[in-house]
Amino acid sequence: MAAPSQLPFRPLEYWKPPKAVLHIRARSTNLPQRSPSVYSFDSEKGKESFDSVERKHTTYSSATEIMKNQFVEGTGEFERQDGVGRKWYDVKGWGKKVWIGVAAAVVILIIVIVVPVVVTNKKNKYPDYSRLSYSVSETYSGENFFDNFDYFTGYDPSSGFVHYVDSVAAAQYNLTYASTSSAVLRVDTSVNSSSVPNASTGRFSVRITSKKQYGTNNLFIFDVKHTPTGCATWPALWLSDPSNWPTNGEIDIMEAVNVVSDTQNQMTLHTTKGCSMDVKRKDTGTDLQSSCLNSTNGNAGCGVDAGTSTFGNTFNNNGGGVMAMELRTAGIRMWQFARASIPSDISAGSPDPSTWPEATADFPNTNCDIDTHFRNQSIIANIDLCGSWAGDETIYAQSCPGTCSDYVANNNTAFANAYWEFGSFVVYSANGTVS
């Protein structure tokens, strides 16, 4: 049967196959490579054939078996089927869709293998805390201790049941005073709910903020002789830029709530977005939340529990201790040394953190730009009452009676031990890296 006239290609007698096809045709049919032939087509089978003039032998074209044309019934056309009969692993027979699928699979495989490796490597990175040479920048001590601070008198940002007083009222109620050996900051114990003035809307307390502000590459040594204790209390020793909080960050060095006897000191960072601690760290404390973003986890920040008896009666009865905080580009590290374990270089006035034991809390810069997140830091000390943490009903009820505000208003004598006593604050500035 003659091939349909609408075929989209020329008949085989006008097609000159490549040498490889000629070779196969000659070998499989025993025909001369250029033997004349008459073209014919079987529409039922969709096969091409030819009659050999020399051999009078009819066979299917080997070229057709190699590049088979599938006749589509009802269309009179052929659908080209490249690679028919090839093994799946013979790439010469792969079509465009197969190659796209293979490429997609390779990309996915690379992602599956490479991404976890990159993430793991980043988490295992650790900054270079090379030794820095420090010299004294400021010393806060003696009878003039409080002259270096401003007294905060505004509304308590932590919603405490407290009235922060100025320096005049603090002197009047004996809430701040200093000697050659220590400085005391305390909660009022004189007024109650029926006195004049009274504590029906909050008790008098103090919050001080250093006039000097600090950036990175500074070392802070805090000599703490006594920490505040008692129900409803929320004392803190910290650094921040109150006018630009939390944009410029917050560093909590000592903080606890409702300390009846003993508790763990909590060291914490509070920041805006882009600072987390789900990375390699070297500290002896118990790491808590990994995100430092202040608006998450109930404004908890990323904290570290310092360990047993690091705040409260046992700490106080042992003479307190020294808190050290290194603020540098590589990260923020904090140490808590008991009075009997203070490094000799601190006592000698030449502190060298590179020789100290592992930090109590370590906040490396691996996933947190310290220079960006912590700027213009002032030293702050205060004793809040109730508020969003100490006054939380669930937290307060764990160790204290009644409601927090009632307790504060009606129990003036209960705050006799609610005071900070500091020996001194010394700030050292880095002169450079020591090799």
The per-residue pLDDT for range 300-316, each reduced to its tens digit, is 999 999 998 999 999 99
pLDDT for residue 94 = 75
Please give the Cα distance from 338 to 314 (Å, whole number): 11
pLDDT of residue 394: 96
pLDDT of residue 101: 83
The reported pLDDT for the residue numbered 435 is 43
Q: Is 338 strand, coil or helix?
A: strand
Phi, psi dihedrals of residue 104, rounded to the nearest 5°: -65, -40
Contacts of 235 (CB under 8 A, 6+ apart): 227, 228, 254, 255, 256, 259, 382, 383, 384, 418, 420
Band of pLDDT at residue 76, cut at 50, 70 and 90:
low
pLDDT of residue 102: 81
257-293 pLDDT, tens digit each: 999 999 999 999 999 999 999 999 999 999 999 999 9
> Mean pLDDT across the stretch 11-33?
49
Instruction: Give 404-421 pLDDT, tens digit per residue.
Output: 999 999 999 999 999 999
pLDDT at 421: 99
Q: Is the pLDDT of residue 332 over 50?
A: yes
Number of other residues whose CB lies within 10 A of the CB of residue 139: 15
- Whole-number pLDDT of residue 391: 97
Residue 168 in tokens: 């005049």
Structure confidence at residue 168 (pLDDT): 98
Compute how many other C-beta atoms are within 10 angstroms of the C-beta atom of residue 318. Answer: 12
| Residue numbers annotated as active site | 250, 255
Q: How many CB atoms lie under 10 A from the CB of residue 254?
A: 24
pLDDT at 44: 58
Secondary structure element (H or E) that encloses residue 21, with its range: helix 19-29
